[in-house]
Amino acid sequence: HGGANEEAQKMAEEVGKPENAEAYVRDRLARKEKIFGFGHAVYTTMDPRATVLKQLCKDLGERRNQPKWYEIFSALEETTFEQKGLYPNVDLYAAGVYHMLGIPTDLMTPIFALARMVGWTAHVREQYANNRIIRPGSEYVGPRDRRYVPVDER
């Protein structure tokens, strides 16, 4: 979740209206650019969190008299599935919900992280209580022995 919700909101703003979604997605795919808010490492169908947030985005849009955002995200969902076969993940509709709640785009990822802090804290407490580190069930398989390049030299 390294900012995909923020990028999804920026995408929706660039699209501007639902009828622009198809051309927008087609253009990004032609340039081999990512469509933010789609695909998931575990879920091969629609992310169940996205299902809940999709309905919340729709309801919030109706209550706030801002249906445009739901309509844009929905159009992006439809056209991305048609053109790429990808389902939305939690970030797509979360962006619309955050936006309609008045959360600035650059705070969307920090807000998402704050929501996870309870779980992270529970893990730390469990690790301390059991004197055992909780390790992820995956193994790094990328390149090794890479030289660090400071950010300002990249």
* pLDDT digits 0-9 by tens, 66-106: 999 999 999 999 999 999 999 999 999 999 999 999 999 99
* 69 class by beta-carbon count within 10 Å (0-12 exposed, 13-18 middle, 19+ buried): buried
Alpha helices in the chain (DSSP H): 4-15, 21-30, 48-63, 67-84, 90-100, 108-130
Give the global pTM.
Answer: 0.78
Q: What per-residue confidence (pLDDT) applies to 151? A: 86
Cβ(71)–Cβ(35) under 8 Å?
no
Rounded to the nearest 10 degrees, how much is the dihedral formed by the CA atoms of 74, 33, 30, 67?
20
pLDDT value of residue 138:
61
Distance CA 103, CA 86 (A): 27
The answer to whether 84 and 35 are in contact (CB under 8 A) is: yes
In contact, 72 and 18? CB cutoff 8 Å = yes
How does DSSP assign 71-102, residue by residue?
HHHHHHHHHHHHHH-PPB-HHHHHHHHHHHTT
Q: Is 91 a catalytic residue?
A: yes
**Which region among 61-65, 92-96, 98-102, 128-132 has the lowest average model confidence (pLDDT)?**
128-132
- Least reliable range by pLDDT among 46-60, 99-113, 116-130: 116-130
Domains of the chain from N-terminus onward: 4-130 (1.10.230.10)
Query: Rounded distance, CA 42 to CA 15, Å?
Result: 28
- The answer to whether 71 touches 16, Cβ cutoff 8 Å, is no
What is the reported pLDDT for 30? Answer: 97
Q: Could you say which of 91, 99, 106, 152 is catalytic?
A: 91
How much is the average pLDDT of 125-151?
Answer: 80
Q: Catalytic residue among 1, 40, 99, 123, which? A: 40
Q: Kind and range of the H or E element at 70?
A: helix 67-84
Give the tens place of pLDDT for each residue, 7-50: 999 999 999 999 999 999 999 999 999 999 999 988 889 999 99
Q: Is residue 140 very low, low, confident or very high in pLDDT (cuts 50, 70, 90)?
A: low
What's the pLDDT at 18?
98
